[in-house]
Amino acid sequence: LAKLLDEHPDIDAIFCGADIMALGVIMEAHARKLEVPGQLKVIGYGDQNFAADMDPPLTTIRIDGTKIGKLAASMLIEKIETGASKRAKVDVGFTLIERGSA
């Protein structure tokens, strides 16, 4: 975040590829005295256990990792057994968990 804001000071929102990255972004924002979400909105990905307990609580994307793992395993087994998979792409969905950071 420090480098990003130094190069692009007008940024007002950041989507992080993982909640742990969003935690770091919010920590840097606090160190710079930036209000989250007032001056900088932050969204994470993964809905990790700590996300709801952050200050402010982290807005994040929740995915069903168990469903993804089971689906990936079944597609792999199908590929091994038949040499092909009928499903090249699968939409497993997601849920936006709206909290205080965005």
Residue 97 β-bridge partners: 60
The phi and psi torsions of 78 (rounded to 5 degrees) equal: -60, -45
Contact partners, residue 55, CB within 8 Å, separation at least 6:
26
- Residue tagged 């209000």 (tokens): 35
> What local confidence, expressed as pLDDT, does residue 90 receive?
87
Question: Which of 37, 43, 52 has its CA nearest to residue 14?
Answer: 43
Q: Which pLDDT value is given to residue 73?
A: 92
Tell me if 41 sits within 8 A of 14, measured CB to CB.
yes
pLDDT of 70: 93
List Cα–Cα distances, 97 to 43, 53, 60, in angstroms: 9, 13, 5
* Per-residue pLDDT tens digits for 65-92: 999 999 999 889 988 998 887 777 889 9
Quick: pLDDT tens for 13-68.
999 999 999 999 999 999 999 999 999 999 999 999 999 999 999 999 999 999 99
CATH, domain range 2-63: 3.40.50.2300
Q: Where are the domains of the chain?
A: 2-63
Identify whether the C-beta of residue 85 lies closer than 8 Å to the C-beta of residue 73.
no
